[in-house]
Structures are given as structure tokens and as C-alpha cells.
């Protein structure tokens, strides 16, 4: 499920891997050139092979008289390397020019020449340097040319490696950012489609963490990890092959170092891996507490409870900090320990290498190259140890994100939606409906049956916790009925297209929720393109919001902060009601939406609703008797059941619960 978001970036990823491999090859070739500069450029004055390109006539004749096979590779007339003679200013009388050996004969010529010095290549090289000097050749110039040539190669390779690293970094980061963007979009779309049951399962704080922090961990792993995962093994394996190919007598030093490093990485990984899941869980908790504190900051201040809130946050923050410290210290120990191992390996190589150099079986440059390859091996394992930090965190994050993506919403569109009866516009019916929340043992609603007709106000009232809000949540399918049937215009809502169903319904929740933007953008929230200014102003007028809107600077263009915190609770509620009324919906649901309004505004709003929206189905959940006393049908709920229904006067005579609610509100405007 997550892998499909990687597919669009396969091309760039393959290209990055290829460039990283070339970068590794380039990096591994540098020690060879360094070895040449040290052994040939410095120690041998630029003379690379123990096979001279020219010799003095007297010394050449001495070799001829000795019967050396090397003589067969010299040409007296015409010389193949005549350009050397021309550039040297020497004459044929004093000089023999050696033919261009070619790679095939070079090793053989060098072998014969070194044999003349009892197998001592260094002695042969020294003889050649001395011979060149006697012939008047510029040894310094020869050395300089060799150094510049190989130094130039090193510079070009280093520049190529730098460009390759920049290219790989840019493209891997770009691919990782695109992957994270696409994954965030998918996760967000998935979360938006969740029903309330899924939100209850994950919690809002956890979904925020999974959509941000967890995806960021995957982005970091893909961006940085992809380069390291490819580069480190390529460097490590390449360096090991180079070391083995050198047939050095102290390769065992590197073997011991690698063994110690591998054991350390395995131990530290096993210690820290379980803590990464704990870090993400603690991050969820920290987010949850911060959301709770910031949402309830006014209540906290009113009760002077800042200390307790700080203590709650400090506890989870300290747990998160302590776990992070443990993981960071554990994984951070890798760096110093690996540096110690690498430096001890270098000391051992220098110690044993010095004896080989002294014995003449190894040159200084070879020791330097071996040290460089050893550093590459250890550094590759250090980079792999860094990956051991990213991998467990990434695996935890992958699991958490996959849980969201694999979670199927309990409320989905039917495969073959059924169209409603167009002659019954806005008819709502409950038939023997029972409902329980996810994993709950008891039903919240039991055997609910009623009808809400178009052109009527259907009200629901009852004690706190009686199930009023649960009833209306079943109409737009915020939850699905556990048993029974909820019908809109004669069709089971589970068989109706979800988007079409919700277009038929306007919903005002208990808490007036506004979004950052303007008053206009909030009122036109349901369909900004099709709700004109006249409809917006009409909705604001019915919702009794027109007066305070005209008093604000900018009026409908005045800004609304996140959550509507820059307007009062009553103003926020009226704007939420105006948003619902601006939508041309057939069914309007008010979930205790008038509780934040004063009695005068409540009364004026109800009069406006009766005058302007008599053709619609209006369902009102309320606490106040005064809000619903003129409703055509009042449902009285108690402990998840409808215990009575009728008009106000009927219920005052027949329903004890309704009478008690009314009696408690007499004198407060509720029973009038």
C-alpha cells in the first residue's frame, strides 16, 4: 500500500543508485593514485617501471655482452622512440633508444632488468634514475610531470565524486519529498473518509502524528537512507575487495576490526529497536495533552489549574525526553567506539607495515593505500550504523502509517446506490433502530422508531446522555445503525450514495466550529461556487448574525481565526447556523445548536425559521423547552429509548419526564 507511492519515483531512484555506485568507484580509485604519487612520484622520482626508455651506449653494450634478453627490445636503427631522442638533445652515438614496449612486453622487460639486480626492483629503479642523470635527462621535470599527471587525475576524480554526491543528494531528496507529499495526501484523504468510529479508534492526536511525524521519518529514511544504504555497502565491499586483492600480510587486522564493529552494531540495534516504537507512542501522548491544554486553556485559567496542566505535560515530556536520551546515547556511542577501532587498526597497520617496508617487501604508498581502504571499510560500517538508527524508526512509522491506510472505514458507498423517491423530498424515517458504539457491550439506542416529515419541525429532548445526538448522527451516516433501518425519502441511507445523501442534509453540531478565513468563506463553506452573495446574506439574516457582521470592519470579508477564537461563543454559533442555512439542503439538523444563544436571539431565530424554511425537514435537538414548544412533533428520550412523542401540550399532560424538564425551566424562560 505504501510501496505504490514509491513507484512514480523508481526512475530517479535507479538513476541515483547508478550515480552513487559511480561515486563509490571514484572514491575507491583515489588511494591507488595516492599510492602511485608516494611510491613513484616521490620515492622513485617519477620512474614508474624498472624498464628504462633509454640507456647509455656503454652500459647497453655491457648488458649485451652479459647476454641479457633485454637487448632484444632495443632498436638501434631506426629507433621507435626517436621523439625521445629529439626532445633530449642527445645523439645516437651515446644513447640507445628502447622500442615502445607495449603492455604485453613491459612486464617481461621489467622482469629481465630486475633480474640483473638480483630481483631487487628498488635497486633497479635507482640504477635507472642514476642512468638518466648521467645521460643529462631532467629527473626533476620527469618527477613533476608524473606528479601533475596523477594529481590531475585525483582532482578530476574528486570533482566527479563531489558532483555525483550533489546530484544524488538533490535527486534523492526531491524523490523523498515527492513521496512524502503523495503519502501525506493519501493519508489525509483516507482520514477525511473515516467515520467517527475510526476517529474513536485512533484518536485525533495519533492521526496527526501519523500524518506528520511518521511520514517525516519515512521521508528522512528515503532521502538520506537511500544514499547511505547504497553508498556504504558499495564502499565497504569495494574496499574489502581492494584489500584482498592487495594480498597484504596484515589483512587480518581489518578482519578483526570488522568483526568487532558488526558485533557492536547488532548489540546496540537490539537494545534500541524497541524504544523507537515507544518514542512514537509518547509523541502521540504529548500531542494529545498539548491539544487538550490549548483547547481548554480558558477553563484551566478560570480554575487556576495551570500547575496541574504543566505537571501533566511535564510527565509525558520527561518520558519522551528520557526515552530519546537513552536511544541517542546508545546509538551515539557508535561514533566514538568506531573511531577508536579505526584508529587502533591504523596503528596496527603502521606498526606491521613499517617492518614490511624496512624489509623491502612493501612500499610506503601501499601501506598508505591500505590505511585508506581500511578507513573506507570502517567508515562504511559507521554509515551502516547510522542506518540502524533510521531503519527501526522507519519500520515503526511504516507500520503506523500502514495501519491508517489499511483501516477500512465502517461507512462506505454502496456498490449499487439506490435513488430516492423524488416525491418525498426530505422525509426521514427510523424503523426499530438500535445502535452501539465500537466495541461497546451495551446499546446506546434501543428500538427507535419515528418519522420526520417535510414542512415540519421534529424536536428531540431528554436528559443528558439519553442518546439525542446519537439519533441524529445516524441520519448523515456519521455512524451506522447497528440494527434497524434509517431511511431518507424512502431509501435506506446505507443504500444511498454517500455524497448525494450528505448534500441533502445541513448539519449544525453542538459546538460551533469555524475555519480560518473570512465570514464569507465560512458561510459559503458547503459550496462556494454556487452560493451567491444574496443567499449568504439571507442565511446570515435568518441566523440573526447580520447585525454583528455589519458592525465588523470588512463585514463579510472580515477575518476569522482558526476555530473562530476571535468571535464570541454566540457569534460563532450563529455563523455555524448561517453556514447550514446557506446550503440548499432538504433536511436541516440542529444538534443542541441554540444553547449558546440568549432567549431573545433564540426566539427570533425560531420565528425566522418558521417563516423562511417551512418547506424543509427540520430536526432540532434541544435542552430548552422554549426552543421546541412550537414543534409539530416532540420526541422525549430517556436511557436510549423514545418514551413519548407528541406536541408540547400533550406531553405536558402525559409524560412525567417532559413535565420535570419543563418544571426545572419555569422562571428561566424555558416553560413559557
* CA dist 225 → 93, 150, 240, 392 (Å): 67, 34, 22, 12
| Cβ atoms < 10 Å from Cβ of 234 | 20
Q: How many CA atoms lie within 13 A of 361 on its CB side?
A: 11
Q: Contact 362/353 with Cβ under 8 angstroms?
A: yes
Question: Is the four-CA dihedral 274, 277, 281, 284 of positive or negative sign?
Answer: positive
Rounded to whole angstroms, the Cα distance separating 209 from 123 reads: 71
Phi, psi of 226 (to 5 degrees): -60, -40
Q: CA-to-CA distance for 649 and 630, rounded, in angstroms?
A: 10
Q: What does the pLDDT read at residue 430?
A: 92
Q: Grid coordinates in use for 48?
A: 614508474
Of 137, 53, 131, nearest in space to 89 by CA: 137
Give the whole-angstrom CA distance, residue 334 versus residue 498.
55
Please give the Cα distance from 474 to 486 (Å, whole number): 7
Query: Half-sphere exposure of residue 587, counting CA atoms within 13 Å on the CB side?
Result: 26
Q: Residue 92's pLDDT is what? A: 47
Query: To which H or E segment does residue 487 belong?
Result: strand 483-488
Report the relative pairing of strands 483-488 and 445-452 from DSSP bridges. unpaired
b/e map 55-84, b = 16+ CB within 10 Å:
bbeeebeebeeeeeebeebbeeeebebeeb
Q: Which helix (H) or strand (E) holds 587?
A: strand 587-591
Q: What is the pLDDT of residue 669?
A: 44
What is the rounded distance in angstroms from the CA atom of residue 429 to the CA atom of residue 475? Answer: 9
The side-by-side arrangement of strands in the sheet containing 587-591 is 505-508, 587-591, 617-621, 457-462, 633-638, 641-646
Q: Is 507 helix (H, G, I), strand (E, B) or coil?
A: strand
The domain over range 3-8+171-406 is classified in CATH as 3.40.50.300: no
Position 152 scores a pLDDT of: 92
Q: How far is CA 376 from CA 362, 365, 384, 405, 474, in A?
A: 21, 16, 12, 41, 65
**What DSSP string runs through 86-147?**
HHHT--TTTEEEBP--HHHHHHHHHHHHHHTTTT-HHHHHHHHHHHHHHTT--HHHHHHHHH
Q: Which residue has the cell 511518521?
A: 214
pLDDT of residue 485: 92
Going from the C-alpha of 404 to that of each of 207, 275, 407, the distances in angstroms are 8, 21, 5
Distances (CA, A) of 630 to 68, 370, 593: 126, 95, 17
Look at residues 489, 486, 517 and name the one whose alpha carbon lies nearest to residue 503.
Answer: 489
Maximum pairwise Cα distance, the chain: 141
Residue 449 DSSP symbol: E
What is the DSSP annotation of 124-141? HHHHHHHHHHHTT--HHH
pLDDT the model gives residue 136: 74
Q: How far apart are alpha carbons 355 and 371 in whole angstroms? A: 15
- Strand, coil or helix: 420: coil
**Any idea how long the chain is?**
672
Question: For residue 75, what pLDDT is reported?
Answer: 44
Distance (Å) of CA 171 to CA 6, 118, 223, 234 = 14, 57, 9, 19
Report the 10 Å Cβ neighbour count for 600: 10
**SS3 at position 636:** strand
Neighbours of 138 (CB within 10 A): 12
From the first residue on, what is the mean pLDDT of each consecutive set of 10 residues in the chain (672 residues)?
A: 78 88 87 85 82 71 60 46 50 51 62 74 83 80 88 92 89 89 87 78 80 86 80 83 72 80 76 73 79 72 75 83 80 76 82 75 77 80 72 80 82 80 79 82 87 89 84 88 89 88 86 83 81 86 84 83 78 86 87 79 82 83 84 88 89 87 66 44
DSSP state of 225: I
Residues 17, 11: Cα–Cα separation, whole Å: 10
Q: The domain 509-584: what is its CATH number?
A: 3.40.50.300
pLDDT at site 672: 42
The domain ranges of the chain are 3-8+171-406, 33-146, 509-584
Amino acid at each position: 500500500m505504501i510501496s505504490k507511492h514509491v513507484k512514480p519515483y523508481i526512475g530517479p531512484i535507479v538513476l541515483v543508485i547508478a550515480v552513487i555506485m559511480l561515486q563509490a568507484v571514484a572514491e575507491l580509485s583515489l588511494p591507488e593514485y595516492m599510492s602511485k604519487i608516494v611510491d613513484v612520484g616521490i620515492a622513485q622520482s617519477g620512474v614508474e617501471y624498472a624498464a628504462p626508455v633509454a640507456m647509455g651506449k656503454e652500459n647497453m653494450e655491457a648488458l649485451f655482452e652479459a647476454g641479457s634478453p633485454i637487448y632484444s627490445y632495443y632498436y638501434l636503427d631506426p629507433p621507435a622512440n626517436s621523439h625521445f631522442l629529439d626532445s633530449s638533445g642527445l645523439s645516437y652515438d651515446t644513447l640507445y633508444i628502447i622500442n615502445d614496449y607495449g603492455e604485453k612486453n613491459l612486464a617481461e622487460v621489467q622482469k629481465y632488468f630486475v633480474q640483473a639486480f638480483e630481483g631487487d626492483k628498488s635497486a633497479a629503479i635507482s640504477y635507472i634514475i642514476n642512468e638518466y642523470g648521467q645521460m643529462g635527462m631532467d629527473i626533476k621535470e620527469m618527477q613533476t610531470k608524473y606528479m601533475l599527471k596523477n594529481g590531475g587525475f585525483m582532482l578530476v576524480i574528486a570533482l566527479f565524486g563531489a558532483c555525483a554526491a550533489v546530484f544524488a543528494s538533490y535527486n534523492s531528496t526531491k524523490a523523498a519529498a515527492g513521496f512524502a507529499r503523495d503519502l501525506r495526501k493519501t493519508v489525509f484523504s483516507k482520514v477525511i473518509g473515516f467515520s467517527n468510529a475510526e476517529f474513536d479508534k485512533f484518536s485525533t492526536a495519533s492521526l496527526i502524528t501519523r500524518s506528520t511525524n511518521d511520514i517525516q521519518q519515512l521521508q528522512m529514511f528515503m532521502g538520506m537512507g537511500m544514499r547511505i544504504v547504497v553508498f556504504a555497502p558499495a564502499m565497504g565491499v569495494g574496499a574489502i575487495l581492494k584489500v584482498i586483492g592487495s594480498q597484504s600480510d596484515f589483512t587480518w587486522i581489518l578482519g578483526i576490526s570488522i568483526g568487532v564493529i558488526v558485533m557492536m552494531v547488532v548489540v546496540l540495534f537490539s537494545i534500541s529497536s524497541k524504544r523507537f516504537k515507544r518514542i512514537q507512542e509518547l509523541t502521540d501522548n504529548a500531542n494529545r495533552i498539548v491539544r487538550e491544554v490549548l483547547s481548554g486553556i480558558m477553563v484551566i485559567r478560570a480554575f487556576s489549574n495551570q500547575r496541574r496542566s504543566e505537571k501533566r505535560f511535564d510527565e509525558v515530556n520527561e518520558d519522551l525526553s528520557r526515552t530519546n536520551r537513552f536511544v541517542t546515547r546508545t546509538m551515539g556511542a557508535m561514533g566514538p567506539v568506531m573511531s577508536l577501532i579505526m584508529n587502533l587498526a591504523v596503528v596496527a597497520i603502521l606498526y606491521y607495515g613499517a617492518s614490511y617496508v624496512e624489509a623491502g617487501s612493501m612500499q610506503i604508498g601501499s601501506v598508505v593505500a591500505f590505511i585508506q581502504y581500511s578507513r573506507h571499510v570502517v567508515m562504511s560500517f559507521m554509515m551502516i550504523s547510522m542506518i540502524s538508527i533510521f531503519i527501526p524508526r522507519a519500520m515503526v512509522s511504516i507500520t503506523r502509517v500502514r495501519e491508517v491506510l489499511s483501516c477500512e472505514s465502517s461507512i462506505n458507498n454502496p456498490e449499487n446506490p439506490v435513488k430516492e423517491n423524488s416525491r418525498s423530498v426530505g422525509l426521514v424515517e427510523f424503523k426499530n433502530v438500535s445502535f452501539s458504539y465500537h466495541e461497546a457491550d451495551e446499546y446506546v439506542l434501543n428500538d427507535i422508531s419515528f418519522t420526520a416529515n417535510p414542512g415540519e419541525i421534529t424536536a428531540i429532548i431528554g436528559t443528558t446522555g439519553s442518546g439525542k445526538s446519537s439519533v441524529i448522527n445516524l441520519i448523515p451516516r456519521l455512524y451506522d445503525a447497528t440494527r434497524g433501518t434509517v431511511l431518507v425519502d424512502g431509501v435506506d441511507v446505507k443504500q444511498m450514495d454517500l455524497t448525494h445523501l450528505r448534500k441533502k442534509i445541513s448539519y449544525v453540531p453542538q459546538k460551533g466550529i469555524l475555519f480560518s478565513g473570512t465570514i464569507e468563506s465560512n458561510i459559503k463553506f458547503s459550496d462556494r461556487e454556487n452560493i451567491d452573495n444574496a443567499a449568504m446574506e439571507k442565511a446570515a439574516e435568518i441566523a440573526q448574525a447580520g447585525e454583528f457582521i455589519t458592525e465588523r470592519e470588512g463585514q463579510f470579508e472580515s477575518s476569522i481565526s482558526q476555530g473562530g477564537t476571535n468571535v464570541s461563543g454566540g457569534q460563532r454559533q450563529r455563523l455555524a447556523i448561517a453556514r447550514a442555512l446557506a446550503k440548499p439542503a432538504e433536511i436541516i439538523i440542529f444538534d443542541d445548536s441554540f444553547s449558546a444563544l440568549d432567549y431573545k436571539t433564540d426566539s427570533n431565530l425560531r420565528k425566522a425559521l418558521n417563516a423562511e424554511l417551512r418547506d424543509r425537514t427540520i430536526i432540532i435537538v434541544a435542552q430548552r423547552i422554549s426552543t421546541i414548544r412550537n414543534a409539530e412533533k416532540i420526541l422525549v428520550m430517556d436511557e436510549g429509548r423514545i418514551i413519548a412523542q407528541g406536541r408540547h401540550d400533550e406531553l405536558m399532560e402525559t409524560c412525567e419526564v417532559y413535565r420535570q424538564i419543563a418544571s426545572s425551566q419555569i422562571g428561566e424562560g424555558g416553560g413559557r
